[in-house]
Amino acid sequence: MFRTEQLSKAGKLSSVAQFQSTQASGEPKKSSHDRLLRLIAAFKLLKAGLLIALGVGAFRLLHKDIADVAEHWIEALRLDPANRFVDAALAKASHLNPGQIKKLGLGSFIYAALFLTEGLGLWLLKPWAEWLTVIITGSLVPIEIYEILRHPSAVKVGVLAVNVAIVAYLIYRIRSRRKTSSQP
């Protein structure tokens, strides 16, 4: 008991709790907060994977006629070329130049690196990753709102809601940890 009191005064009580839960099963118990953090990490890693795929795809299109490639995929997926969405996508694809494709690929890789850093840090339950995620995700919220106002869609609203929820939860988690570590 004396050791627990010393650790409590030194702000290391969570280490004792983890040690005690490890004694019973051999592994530390995972709290629901850790599971939620890992879910956020998985979401960030999924986004990173999708962005890497987009970047690779963009660079593979560099020396090809994009309109021909798009038409090929429309036929392969048996989409209706007369559909207004498909027609709009074809029109945009035919106007892309190599410089725009390079920017798309490079931007995808940069964002993927950020999401990988956030995701791996959160998966490993690192406090710096919580801060990084709050800063990066929070700084993108105004851009997401602008995009919703410019071209509203249910998907954009859903992504915004998820990102705001992530930021709010991580701020709550950071503040909770600060309160428990500052208590005597």
pLDDT tens for each residue of 25-69: 444 556 888 899 999 999 999 999 999 999 999 999 888 887 788
Domain that holds residue 115: 31-123
As to burial, measured by CB atoms within 10 angstroms (0-12 exposed, 13-18 middle, 19+ buried), residue 88 is exposed
155 and 72 part of one domain: no
Final residue of a domain: which of 76, 107, 123?
123
**25 within some domain:** no
User: Which uninterrupted H or E stretch holds 143?
Assistant: helix 127-150
- 154 and 98 within one domain: no
Shared domain check, 35 and 99: yes
Please state the pTM of the whole predicted model: 0.71
The answer to whether position 40 is within a domain reads: yes
Please state the domain count of the chain. Answer: 2
Cα–Cα distance, 173 to 163 (Å, whole number): 15
Burial class (CB in 10 A: 0-12, 13-18, 19+), 77: exposed
Locate tokens 């800063």: which residue? 135
CA distances from 120 to 34, 39, 174 (A): 13, 12, 18
- What is the number of H-type helices and E-type strands within the chain? 8, 0
> Left, alpha or beta for 125 (phi > 0: left; psi -120 to 50: alpha)?
left
pLDDT bracket for residue 14 (50, 70, 90): very low
Residue 6 predicted with pLDDT over 70: no
Residue 4 lies in a domain: no
Considering the domain architecture, whether residues 41 and 117 belong to the same structural domain is answered as yes
